[in-house]
């Protein structure tokens, strides 16, 4: 497996340079055969892909994901179709020149507001934002800064800050044991998405922070009212690249990858079929033609190092985030007012009580049920999205 991963990764690098999937197809196929063997060795019930998803989310099955995605897909398609028929919002003001030092200082202020503990962590710059931890008292995050794109750094800080708060909140007295480990990648992603989108793309957050933003960038946001800013940061537009997608179209990127992986492992498609399947479904769901392999099926590193079973957790994280946020609001109807006043201590305390302190004691579904009263239900994300985009696009 290690040898196959090494060959596959370097073949992927070269294939991206050549902008041709053909050079990656055979090494990837060899790796997929090993992943099938791995699934057999690990053991599974019903579907071999379950064994691989279990690496990232204990107890996650094809049955669960298929049910959630089957419910989500038609609702997202209907919402996206309505948005397409409305006047598009303008977010050009996010693509001016923003000094990197000022962006950095603004990001630090946001992290401080989130109560990221700088005595137990730090932030640095990297090519791709990530979080790494050694224990709950040493949690390091990175961000990236594009001087022509304000959103890159800001929502990276919020996203990675959400991951970091989870790691910093795990019980330090249980270090080295499952009770001091995160529940799953789905729940981890729920924490980053809750802060990035539920909070950081919400009107309440910016009611408090818009004055601060204008203090750091007085020229760039001159004449831009907060309502226009709010619409701009929540613009929905189908695109080719998963990591740059908005909250609605993002799920189609994930579902296409999930379907491909599942079919590769069950043997219903071959690796040579990937580009055609990918291109067909990007046009079907997002209405865009994929111009080449580099911006299509070669864009993610995951397959090249054998990370099969990972992609579904990205969407599940967003769904869990919406369900958790709805539960918090039910228990604390004043939450939005608190956020508008710059107070997120009650939000953090709820997450500490309901999520962080339990470590890996429960599965994702069990933890969700304890915190919200039911297992994962895409209704909460669609309620959240429906309300938000009705405000923005009058859908």
pLDDT of residue 244: 85
Q: How far apart are CA 260 and CA 306, in angstroms?
A: 14
The closest of 138, 32, 19, 57 to 316, measured between CA atoms, is 57
For residue 7, with 0-12 CB atoms within 10 Å meaning exposed, 13-18 middle and 19 or more buried, which class applies?
A: middle
Positions of the chain with pLDDT under 70: none
Q: How far apart are CA 123 and CA 328, in angstroms?
A: 28
Tell me, rounded to whole angstroms, the distance of Cα 355 from its chain centroid: 18
pLDDT of residue 93: 96
Q: Which residues contact 345 (CB under 8 A, 6 or more apart)?
A: 115
Fill in the DSSP letter of residue 135: E
Tell me, rounded to whole angstroms, the distance of Cα 71 from its chain centroid: 19
Distances (CA, A) of 226 to 148, 221, 260, 337, 340: 20, 9, 41, 16, 13
Fill in the DSSP letter of residue 146: B
Helix (H, G, I), strand (E, B) or coil at 125: strand
Q: How far apart are CA 272 and CA 84, in angstroms?
A: 33
- Enumerate the H helices of 146-272 as residue ranges: 150-169, 185-193, 203-216, 226-233, 250-266
Is residue 72 a contact partner of residue 382, using CB atoms and an 8 Å limit? yes
The helix (run of H) or strand (run of E) holding residue 134 is: strand 131-135
pLDDT of residue 126: 87
Q: How far apart are CA 322 and CA 248, in angstroms?
A: 13
**Domain ranges (residues) in the chain:** 92-238+329-349
The closest of 324, 336, 329, 317 to 368, measured between CA atoms, is 324
β-pair partners for 200: none
173 is catalytic: no
CA dihedral 231, 195, 160, 164 (to 10 degrees): 170
> What b-and-e string marks burial along 296-305, b requiring 16 or more CB atoms within 10 Å of the CB?
bbbbbeebbe
Q: Which long-range contacts (CB under 8 A, 24 or more apart) does 361-364 make?
A: 361/178, 361/179, 362/183, 363/57, 363/58, 363/59, 363/183, 363/184, 364/57, 364/58, 364/59, 364/60, 364/183, 364/184, 364/186, 364/187, 364/316, 364/320
**Which listed residue (25, 160, 189, 247) is catalytic?**
160
Query: What is the Rg, in whole angstroms, of the alpha carbon atoms belonging to the chain?
Result: 21
Helix (H, G, I), strand (E, B) or coil at 346: helix
β-pair partners for 143: 125
pLDDT of residue 355: 98
Walk across the sheet containing 138-143 and list its strands. 121-125, 138-143, 131-135
Q: Give me the helix-helix angle, 2-18 and 22-42, nearest 10°.
A: 150
Helix/strand/coil (H/E/C) assignment for every residue in 293-329:
CCCCCCCCCHHHHCCCCCCHHHHHHHHHHHHHHHHHH
């Amino acid at each position: 497996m290690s040898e196959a991963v090494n060959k596959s990764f370097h073949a992927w690098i070269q294939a991206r340079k050549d902008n041709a999937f053909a050079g990656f197809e055979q090494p990837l196929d060899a790796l997929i055969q090993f992943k099938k063997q791995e699934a057999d060795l690990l053991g599974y019930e019903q579907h071999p892909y379950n064994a691989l998803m279990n690496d990232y989310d204990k107890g996650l099955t094809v049955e669960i994901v298929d049910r959630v995605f089957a419910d989500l897909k038609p609702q997202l398609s209907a919402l996206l179709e309505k948005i397409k028929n409305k006047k598009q919002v303008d977010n050009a003001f996010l693509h001016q020149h923003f000094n990197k030092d000022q962006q950095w200082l603004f990001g630090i202020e946001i992290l401080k507001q989130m109560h990221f503990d700088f005595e137990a962590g730090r932030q640095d710059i990297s090519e791709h934002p990530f979080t790494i931890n050694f224990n709950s008292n040493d949690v390091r995050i990175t961000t990236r800064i594009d001087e022509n794109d304000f959103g890159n750094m800001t929502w990276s800080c919020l996203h990675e800050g959400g991951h970091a708060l989870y790691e910093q909140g795990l019980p330090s007295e249980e270090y080295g044991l499952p009770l001091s480990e995160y529940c799953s990648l789905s729940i981890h992603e729920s924490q980053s998405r809750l802060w990035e989108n539920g909070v950081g793309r919400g009107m309440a957050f910016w009611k408090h922070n818009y004055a601060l933003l204008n203090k750091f960038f007085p020229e760039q946001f001159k004449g831009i009212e907060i309502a226009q800013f709010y619409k701009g940061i929540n613009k929905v537009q189908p695109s080719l690249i998963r990591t740059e997608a908005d909250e609605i179209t993002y799920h189609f990127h994930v579902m296409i990858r999930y379907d491909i992986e599942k079919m590769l492992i069950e043997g219903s498609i071959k690796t040579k079929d990937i580009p055609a399947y990918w291109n067909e479904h990007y046009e079907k769901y997002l209405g865009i033609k994929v111009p080449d392999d580099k911006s299509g099926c070669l864009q993610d590193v995951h397959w090249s190092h054998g990370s099969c079973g990972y992609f579904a957790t990205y969407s599940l994280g967003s769904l869990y985030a919406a369900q958790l946020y709805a539960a918090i609001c039910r228990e604390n109807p004043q939450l939005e007012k608190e956020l508008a006043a710059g107070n997120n201590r009650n939000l953090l305390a709820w997450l500490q009580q309901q999520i962080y302190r339990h470590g890996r004691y429960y599965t994702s579904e069990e933890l969700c049920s304890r915190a919200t009263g039911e297992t994962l239900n895409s209704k909460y994300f669609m309620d959240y999205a429906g309300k938000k985009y009705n405000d923005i696009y009058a859908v």
